[in-house]
């Protein structure tokens, strides 16, 4: 837009996902004049966009409310040196004020942070969490899945070592037993019983592994996501 011979830009990067919209990045340069109207204008742009997607049938909007790190830029690579980057808490309050205005204008019904939504909704499936390409939580979940795979592999190796140990203990116990020559048939029966125990142990181990794998795909991952959200809730 061109106002009072000063060029001002607002750039919003948006993703759409099954009746949900994700405002991933919002960036601007602060040349708009008069400067005291700048915040009000940015609010109207965002509220206007939310009203627009609402008319298209979008039910939920997600906003990434985190400022860039020192020296980083989201969209524009020409920010004035004197343009300050807001702290996380201040940026969150900025968005909350905008959303309060949107509620007053009957554009937004309610809003909450992801931790509160996660808790109140009682999510029990990872697929209930919106998957936006390039999002912080998307990459975090991918990392947690890799972590769970590593833990599962470590458990599998441990169980295999335990299985070998139990099998060896049973074998040496058989060698140490003192038996009469006439009890050959009993010894064979004992050996058969030991083999049967080994098979049962391996079967039980396999069943435990399958159970743990199912847990990993559900409750274990949900628990880790909850812990991560608790860590990053501020």
Asked if residue 121 is part of any domain, the answer here is: no
Asked if residue 126 is part of any domain, the answer here is: no
List the one residue out of 57, 175, 49 whose CA is nearest residue 105. Answer: 49
Q: Which residues pair with 23 in a beta bridge?
A: 14, 63
Q: Are 135 and 27 in contact (CB under 8 A)?
A: no
Residue with the bigger pLDDT between 93 and 10: it is 93
Is a pLDDT exceeding 80 seen at residue 24? yes
- Tell me, rounded to whole angstroms, the distance of Cα 217 from its chain centroid: 13
Is a pLDDT exceeding 50 seen at residue 35? yes
Is a pLDDT exceeding 70 seen at residue 91? yes
Q: Report the domain count for the chain.
A: 2
Is a pLDDT exceeding 50 seen at residue 232? yes
Asked if residue 33 is part of any domain, the answer here is: yes
Specify whether 169 is located in the same domain as 78.
no
As a whole number, mean pLDDT of residues 67-91 equals 79
Specify whether 107 is located in the same domain as 149.
no
Specify whether 226 is located in the same domain as 154.
yes
Asked if residue 129 is part of any domain, the answer here is: no
Specify whether 14 is located in the same domain as 105.
yes
As a whole number, mean pLDDT of residues 98-117 equals 93
Is a pLDDT exceeding 70 seen at residue 97? yes
Task: Domain of residue 22: give its range.
Answer: 2-111
Structure tokens at 169: 């203990």
143/226 Cα distance (integer angstroms):
14
Asked if residue 124 is part of any domain, the answer here is: no
Specify whether 103 is located in the same domain as 8.
yes
**4-18, 93-107, 113-127: least confidently modelled range:** 4-18
8/42 Cα distance (integer angstroms):
11
Answering whether pTM is above 0.75, one says no
Specify whether 155 is located in the same domain as 88.
no
Asked if residue 227 is part of any domain, the answer here is: yes
As a whole number, mean pLDDT of residues 61-84 equals 79
Asked if residue 116 is part of any domain, the answer here is: no
Specify whether 89 is located in the same domain as 184.
no
Specify whether 94 is located in the same domain as 157.
no
Specify whether 12 is located in the same domain as 69.
yes
As a whole number, mean pLDDT of residues 6-32 equals 72
List the one residue out of 209, 185, 186, 205 whose CA is nearest residue 197. Answer: 205
Structure tokens at 199: 């098979």
Specify whether 141 is located in the same domain as 222.
yes
Specify whether 20 is located in the same domain as 107.
yes
Per-range mean pLDDT, top range of 6-15, 55-64, 178-187: 55-64
Asked if residue 127 is part of any domain, the answer here is: no
Specify whether 160 is located in the same domain as 221.
yes
Answer with the one of 111, 128, 161 that is the final residue of a domain.
Answer: 111
89/218 Cα distance (integer angstroms):
32
- With tokens 């808490």, the residue in question is 89
Structure tokens at 5: 């011979």
Is a pLDDT exceeding 60 seen at residue 5? no
- Look at residue 169 in the predicted model and tell me its pLDDT: 60
């Amino acid at each position: 837009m061109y106002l009072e011979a000063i060029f001002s830009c607002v750039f919003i990067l948006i993703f759409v996902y099954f009746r949900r919209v994700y405002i991933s990045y919002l960036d601007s340069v602060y040349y708009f004049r008069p400067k005291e109207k700048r915040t009000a204008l940015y609010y109207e742009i965002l509220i206007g966009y939310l009203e627009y997607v609402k008319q298209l049938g979008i039910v939920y909007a997600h906003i990434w409310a985190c400022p860039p790190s020192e020296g980083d830029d989201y969209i524009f690579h020409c920010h004035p040196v004197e343009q300050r980057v807001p702290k996380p808490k201040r940026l969150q309050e900025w968005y909350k004020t905008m959303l309060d205005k949107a509620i007053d204008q009957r554009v937004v019904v309610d809003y909450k942070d992801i931790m509160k939504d996660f808790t109140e909704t009682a999510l029990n499936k990872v697929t209930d969490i919106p998957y936006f390409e390039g999002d912080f939580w998307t990459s975090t979940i991918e990392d947690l899945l890799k972590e769970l795979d590593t833990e599962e592999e470590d458990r599998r190796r441990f169980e295999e070592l335990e299985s070998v140990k139990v099998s060896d203990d049973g074998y040496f116990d058989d060698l140490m037993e003192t038996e009469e020559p006439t009890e050959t048939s009993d010894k064979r029966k004992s050996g058969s019983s030991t083999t049967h125990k080994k098979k049962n142990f391996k079967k039980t181990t396999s069943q435990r592994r399958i159970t743990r794998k199912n847990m990993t795909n559900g409750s274990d991952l949900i628990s880790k996501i909850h812990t991560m959200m608790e860590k990053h809730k501020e």
